[in-house]
């Protein structure tokens, strides 16, 4: 099962990955597309794809869908 990977994506989608505290490094991360908000959106998209992937086991799709629903409820 790939629940740890799904859960890591959900944490990233929730913005639970810290951004750099240094403003110059944060600006660089943003310019490179690594800003927390961009990472969060990319993680949400990955979760959506996982939840809809007919090749993935149903239990994984269901888990990804539950994590997406929990993010939407925030």
Summarised one tens digit per residue, pLDDT across range 14-24 is 876 656 667 77
- Convert 2-35 to b/e letters by CB count within 10 Å (16 or more is b): eeeebeebbebbebeeeeeeeeeeeeebeeeebb
Query: Does the model's pTM come out above 0.75?
Result: no
Q: Which residue has the tokens 């750099």?
A: 20
pLDDT band at 34 (very low <50, low <70, confident <90, very high): low
Q: What is the mean pLDDT of residues 28-57?
A: 83
Q: What is the mean pLDDT of residues 32-61?
A: 86
30 alpha-carbon distance from chain centroid:
17
């Amino acid at each position: 099962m790939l629940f740890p990977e799904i859960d890591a994506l959900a944490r990233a989608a929730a913005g639970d990955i810290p951004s750099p505290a240094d403003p110059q490094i944060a600006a660089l991360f943003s310019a490179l597309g690594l800003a927390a908000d961009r990472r969060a959106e990319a993680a949400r998209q990955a979760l959506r794809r996982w939840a809809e992937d007919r090749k993935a086991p149903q239990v994984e799709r269901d888990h990804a869908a539950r994590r997406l629903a929990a993010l939407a409820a925030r």
